[in-house]
């Protein structure tokens, strides 16, 4: 039985639950449920705080989990990243009052507020910069205005929270983060299946199927516009001058590719979603 740690709330929880559902697992029906058994898939889900997930997995108490790369590193646990999951993308950055700080050297001796002291402390120690870390639980963007810190380091997605506080990012990127599947020290039977199923969910979310009819002499040019994974499927039509083409394309390129193929001479271009995939 594979024991899987899942975020119970916060920025990762909703999409993680959708991924698992699309991967064919039982989700929880009631947000107060902490443990959900899924005997058909031989797994058990444990709903935990995102910050605690790497600790449980690293200790071997649970086999695998979904958390953020930043939280994994900050936990200092023995868990390791098995697979990036392509959601909850963020960067971890230094920020200070607009115009006040420019590079790492400006941080020496400063009071730096963060909820990720291991991640930030490690980054600065490797570069020989000494600061005074102020550990806060969240909302660190308020720490400077309230006088407990000179500078902060935090998760940045859109940058809206920083801007609203009159803060500006500076210095190097501390980390590019996203949700990741993590695994612990023990051999976890069933991890391979979970890994492949989640990969299938990512493909199904990222790609669509495109079908179109094309004058046969244009196959080479059309394949250059949409080459597909291996190569497009070409089927004969009753009219020997035409072929039917099927190809996988990235969802965010649908309209560009339709425009280009139409201009080339393709007609009856249809796009359909992929519900599941195993490449
Ligand atoms: N605005 C955001 N956009 C994208 N990812 C985010 C955002 N905020 C947080 N994350 C990611 O989500 C994870 C943190 O989740 P969350 O914010 O739920 O935890 P927390 O801050 O420790 O808990 P809480 O906010 O409930 O105190 C990290 O991996 C972080 O990179
Ligand atoms: O760049 P933005 O799009 O503004 O997003 C970044 C903000 O989102 C997260 O906060 P969260 O809501 O998790 O609150 P917290 O600081 O209390 O964890 C993060 O800690 C930043 O404050
Ligand atoms: Mg948060």
User: Which ipTM value was assigned to this complex?
Assistant: 0.95
Rounded CA gap, 84 and 93, in Å? 20
Residue nearest to atom 9 of ligand 2 (CA): 155
- 164's tokens: 């609203």
What are residue 81's DSSP bridge partners?
182
Is residue 201 domain-resident?
A: no
Q: Is residue 157 within 6 Å of ligand 2 at its C-beta?
A: yes
Q: Which helix (H) or strand (E) holds 176?
A: strand 167-177
Is residue 24 domain-resident?
A: yes
Closest CA to 42 of 229, 239, 188, 258: 188
- pLDDT at residue 272, rounded to an integer: 98
Which of 141, 145, 156, 176 to mutate to test ligand 2, by most ligand atoms within 8 A of the CB atom? 156
Q: Encode pLDDT of 126-185 as tens digits.
A: 999 999 999 999 999 999 999 999 999 999 999 999 999 999 999 999 999 999 999 999
- pLDDT at residue 279, rounded to an integer: 82
Residues 213 and 183 in one domain: no
Rounded CA gap, 189 and 276, in Å? 23
Q: Which helix (H) or strand (E) holds 270?
A: strand 267-273
3-state helix, strand, coil in the chain (%, to 5): 35, 35, 35
CATH number at residue 54: 3.40.190.10
Order of strands across the sheet that contains 267-273: 233-236, 242-250, 207-215, 267-273
Residues 66 and 133 in one domain: no
Residues 183 and 142 in one domain: no
User: Domain residues for 218?
Assistant: 207-273
CATH number at residue 220: 3.30.70.120
- 264's tokens: 């080339």
The reported pTM is 0.92
Enumerate residue ranges in the chain where pLDDT < 70: none
- pLDDT at residue 107, rounded to an integer: 98
CA of 97 to the centre of ligand 3 (A): 21
| Domains contained in the chain, number | 3
Residues 102 and 119 in one domain: yes
Closest CA to 79 of 192, 184, 180: 184
Backbone phi and psi for residue 188, each to the nearest 5 degrees, phi listed first: -120, 100
Domain boundary among 161, 189, 217: 189
Residues 213 and 246 in one domain: yes
Residues 49 and 108 in one domain: no
Is residue 202 domain-resident?
A: no
Backbone phi and psi for residue 196, each to the nearest 5 degrees, phi listed first: -65, -40
């Amino acid at each position: 039985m594979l024991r899987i740690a899942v975020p119970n709330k916060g920025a990762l929880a909703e999409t993680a639950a959708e991924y698992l559902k699309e991967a064919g697992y039982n989700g929880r029906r009631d947000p107060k449920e902490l443990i959900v058994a899924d005997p058909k898939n031989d797994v058990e889900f444990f709903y935990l705080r995102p910050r605690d997930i790497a600790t449980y997995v690293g200790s071997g108490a649970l086999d695998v989990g979904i958390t953020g790369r930043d939280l994994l590193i900050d936990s200092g646990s023995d868990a390791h990243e098995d697979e990036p999951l392509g959601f909850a993308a963020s960067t971890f950055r230094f920020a200070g009052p607009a115009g006040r700080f420019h590079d790492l050297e400006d941080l020496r001796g400063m009071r730096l507020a963060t909820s990720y002291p291991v991640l930030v402390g490690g980054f600065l120690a490797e570069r020989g910069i000494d600061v005074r870390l102020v550990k806060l639980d969240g909302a660190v963007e308020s720490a400077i205005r309230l006088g407990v810190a000179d500078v902060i380091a935090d998760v940045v997605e859109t940058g809206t929270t920083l801007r609203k506080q009159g803060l500006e990012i500076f210095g190097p990127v501390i980390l590019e983060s996203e949700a990741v599947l993590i695994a612990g020290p023990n051999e976890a039977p069933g991890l391979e299946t979970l890994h492949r199923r989640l990969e299938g969910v990512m493909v199904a979310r990222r790609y669509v199927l495109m079908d179109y009819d094309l004058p046969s002499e244009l196959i080479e040019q059309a394949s250059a516009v949409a080459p597909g994974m291996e190569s497009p499927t070409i089927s004969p039509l009753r009219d020997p001058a035409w072929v039917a083409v099927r190809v996988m394309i990235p969802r965010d390129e649908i309209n560009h590719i339709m425009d280009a193929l139409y201009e080339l001479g393709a007609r009856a271009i249809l796009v359909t979603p992929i519900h599941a995939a195993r490449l």
